[in-house]
């Protein structure tokens, strides 16, 4: 009896062993742990703003020696300032001759009239009639700007030639324009503002625009009045005598004038160099 029971148990175990894989659900396979996400940070490439001109500029920003940088800057800008002043003196001489002839009731030649009409248009003399009064009015506008003043404003406004506006648009005097696409949009311009910073194709064009601005804009009529007074008194037209007339040139107002005067005094040695 005992043997039979043992045989029955062994048979049952054998049958269970055979049937076990079919009656017991295998455990679900374990999914591998997800790999941690790796964020690849691409290096930010600073976009280089291309110049709006074809002029090869000195790399003023790379000149570490201050005296060298100043000399290079003045040597670069000064010829254009001097050339513009020379042209203005020629225009002024034409006006003075025409004025003297009219005062002595002498007729102007056709070429003289054409030259005067061109000057009147360039300097925005509203009534282009060639008369004694209009010629005198023109003489207040057609006059030089001391090279010391022009050079110091160029240095101040362009950070000695290193500013974005100087490098990209040859704008050394911080001049604005108001036609869409006429220049560069300031990065910190107010949303409601529409002005741009003018861009030029040559350094001479930039200098010429600055001279025309000073000699025609109503904001600088006090400067022109002071200059005319110095002429009448046969006194030299010195830069520091005219700076007060630039009060509207910068939002800094009086502080801007004081800064210009200091710069003119501190850089006198460079102006005297030939």
Read out DSSP for 94-148?
HHHHHHHHHHTTPPPPHHHHHHHHHHHHHTT-SS----HHHHHHHHHHS----HH
The C-alpha atoms of residue 171 and residue 154 are separated, in whole angstroms, by 9
pLDDT at 16: 46
pLDDT block averages, 10 residues each, the chain of length 274: 52 49 49 55 68 91 95 96 98 98 96 96 92 97 98 97 94 89 74 79 97 97 98 97 96 96 94 68
Helices (H) and strands (E) in the chain, counts: 11, 3
Q: What b-and-e string marks burial along 223-252, b requiring 16 or more CB atoms within 10 Å of the CB?
A: bbebbbebeeeeeebebebbbebbbebbee
Q: In the numeric block, which tokens belong to residue 220?
A: 């600088």
The pLDDT assigned to 17 comes to 47
What was the pLDDT predicted at 19?
47
Instruction: Describe the crossing of helices 110-122 and 132-141 by its angle, rounded to 10 degrees.
Output: 50
Burial of 125 per CB tally in 10 Å (0-12, 13-18, 19+): buried
Distance CA 239, CA 147 (A): 8
Q: Where are the domains of the chain?
A: 60-270
Query: Could you give the CA distance from residue 132 to residue 183 in angstroms, rounded to a whole number?
Result: 39
User: How far is residue 61's CA from residue 48's CA, in Å, rounded to a whole number?
Assistant: 16
Compute, in degrees rounded to 10, the torsion defined by CA atoms 266, 267, 269, 274: -170
Beta 183-184 vs 196-198: how paired, if at all?
antiparallel
pTM to 2 decimal places: 0.80
Q: Is 196 helix (H, G, I), strand (E, B) or coil?
A: strand
């Amino acid at each position: 009896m005992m043997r039979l029971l043992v045989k029955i148990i062994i048979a049952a175990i054998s049958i269970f062993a055979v049937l076990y894989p079919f009656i017991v659900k295998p455990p679900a396979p374990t999914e591998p742990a997800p790999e941690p996400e790796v964020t690849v940070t691409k290096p930010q490439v600073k976009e280089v703003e291309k110049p709006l001109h074809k002029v090869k500029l000195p790399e003023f920003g790379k000149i570490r020696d201050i005296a060298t940088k100043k000399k290079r800057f003045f040597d670069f800008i000064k010829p254009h300032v001097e050339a513009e002043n020379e042209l203005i003196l020629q225009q002024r001489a034409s006006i003075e001759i025409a004025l003297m002839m009219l005062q002595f009731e002498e007729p102007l030649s056709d070429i003289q009239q054409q030259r005067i009409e061109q000057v009147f248009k360039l300097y925005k003399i509203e009534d282009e009639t060639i008369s004694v009064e209009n010629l005198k009015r023109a003489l207040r506008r057609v006059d030089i700007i001391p090279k010391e003043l022009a050079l110091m404003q160029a240095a101040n406004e362009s950070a000695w030639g290193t500013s974005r506006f100087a490098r990209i648009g040859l704008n050394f005097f911080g001049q604005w324009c108001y036609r869409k696409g006429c220049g560069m949009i300031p990065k910190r311009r107010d949303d409601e503002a529409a002005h741009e910073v003018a861009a030029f194709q040559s350094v001479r064009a930039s200098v010429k625009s600055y001279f025309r601005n000073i000699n025609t804009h109503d904001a600088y009529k006090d400067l022109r009045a002071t200059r005319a007074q110095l002429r009448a008194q046969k006194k030299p037209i010195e830069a520091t005598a005219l700076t007060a007339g630039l009060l509207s040139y910068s939002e800094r107002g009086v502080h801007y004038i004081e800064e210009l005067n200091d710069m003119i005094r501190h850089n006198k040695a460079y102006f005297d160099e030939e």
